[in-house]
């Protein structure tokens, strides 16, 4: 990989005077990932299209004030538990844990002050063929009422000419629950194009999904088959093809906001493929997690924005690899429990390519 380099600068300053740093990892042909220490967030991801034109494919903000003013999880590291925990409570080893609700009555994405609202510390910057940055956050025992001190490291690494890998590693001081993810909002046409993602073609390696109630908590019972429903993305399908179908689940989520139960859980494998026919950009997403939350930007309402534009409904899509929502309360779901003798490891790979030169 020629021309790879790393740069560091100050992205902004928090109200208490602490600096928010930014590290830029540069790859080939203009590929570039920008990471900020506030929320260990992926602030920008610049990717060439089929004609070699580069653009940022993530929603986000150009300054720290945007992130502080509106909590939208743009590109953030989300935890201690991504997604929702019903009624902000769960039982762990016979003890009832009561969390701080922030999506009444539920707990969402770690609570009112999750990892996305914390200032992380850069612990390592690696030059070379696969440039990388590692960030650290130590979540105190009892933070947001979660048990156990949790030491978390997130490493962003360029693992190919147009490939970004994100690795989460966590250790706990006593039994707890952990579910971390990256919450990037993707529009492969690029933010400067000012288009929505309804024409993007999506495929997901899942035969089942979790049906939800009106507050986005999984319903009782086993996962539902995608076959014969608007949730069938086993073959590449335009996101907008069925998003307005008269379907109760689409009504509950205001669009797609559902967990897909991925096949072959346990190893790093292809979970989803996203293609923007207009510009030719393609993204393959690999993960070792059992679920993928597909969120079609249903609550982007035009009142908040960044990078020179307002963000409206369906301007971007989130593909969030993670454990299943409300798993701490569901013995029939994959367990999120982490003990002191275990290490939590979660890997995401974003692999970009193109479908051919456009006129």
Give me the half-sphere count of Cα atoms (radius 13 Å) on the Cβ side of residue 60: 25
Catalytic one of 143, 167, 275, 320 = 320
In the residue annotation, 320 being an active-site residue is answered as: yes
> Tokens 């790979």 appear where?
349
> Is the C-alpha dihedral spanning 170, 176, 179, 180 positive or negative?
negative
Compute the distance between CA of residue 106 and CA of residue 102 in angstroms, rounded to an integer. 6
Classified as helix, coil or strand, 240 is helix
Catalytic one of 183, 200, 311, 346 = 183
DSSP letter, residue 217: P
CB 269 within 8 A of CB 286: yes
Compute the distance between CA of residue 281 and CA of residue 356 in angstroms, rounded to an integer. 9
> Tokens 């309360």 appear where?
329
Residue 101 CA, chain-centre distance (Å), reads 21
In the residue annotation, 284 being an active-site residue is answered as: no
Cβ-count burial of 168 within 10 angstroms (0-12 exposed, 13-18 middle, 19+ buried)? buried
Compute the distance between CA of residue 352 and CA of residue 338 in angstroms, rounded to an integer. 33
Classified as helix, coil or strand, 193 is helix
Q: How far is CA 174 from CA 85, 92, 343, in A?
A: 20, 11, 12
* Catalytic residue numbers, as ranges: 183, 320
């Amino acid at each position: 990989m020629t021309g790879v380099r790393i740069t560091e600068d100050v992205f902004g300053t928090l109200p208490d005077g602490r600096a928010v740093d930014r590290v830029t990892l540069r790859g080939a042909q203009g590929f570039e990932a920008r990471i900020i220490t506030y929320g260990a967030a992926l602030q920008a991801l610049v990717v060439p299209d089929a004609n070699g034109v580069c653009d940022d494919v993530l929603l986000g903000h150009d300054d720290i004030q945007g992130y502080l003013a509106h909590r939208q999880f743009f590109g953030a590291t989300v935890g201690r538990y991504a997604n929702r925990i019903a009624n902000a409570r769960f039982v762990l080893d016979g003890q009832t844990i009561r969390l701080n609700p922030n999506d009444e009555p539920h707990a969402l994405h770690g609570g009112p002050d999750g990892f996305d609202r914390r200032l992380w510390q850069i612990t390592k910057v690696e030059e070379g063929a696969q440039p990388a940055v590692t960030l650290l956050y130590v979540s105190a025992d009892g933070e947001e009422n979660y048990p156990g001190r949790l030491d978390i490291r997130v490493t962003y690494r360029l693992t190919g000419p147009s490939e970004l890998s994100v690795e989460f590693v966590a250790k706990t001081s006593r039994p707890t629950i952990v579910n971390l993810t990256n919450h990037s909002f993707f529009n492969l046409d690029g933010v400067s194009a000012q288009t929505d993602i309804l024409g993007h073609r999506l495929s997901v390696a899942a035969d089942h999904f979790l049906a939800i109630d009106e507050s986005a908590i999984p319903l009782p019972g086993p996962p539902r088959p995608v076959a014969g429903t608007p949730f069938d993305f086993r073959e590449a399908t335009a996101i907008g093809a069925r998003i307005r179908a008269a379907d109760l689940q689409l009504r509950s989520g205001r669009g797609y906001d559902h967990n897909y139960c991925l096949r072959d859980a346990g190893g790093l494998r292809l979970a989803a493929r996203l293609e923007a026919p207009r510009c030719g950009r393609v993204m393959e997403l690999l993960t070792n997690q059992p679920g993928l939350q597909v969120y079609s930007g249903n609550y982007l309402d035009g009142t908040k924005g960044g990078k020179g534009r307002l963000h409206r409904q369906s301007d971007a899509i989130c593909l969030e690899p993670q454990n299943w929502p409300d798993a701490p309360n569901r013995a029939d779901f994959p367990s999120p429990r982490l003990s002191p003798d275990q290490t939590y490891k979660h890997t995401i790979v974003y692999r970009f390519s193109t479908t051919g030169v456009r006129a």
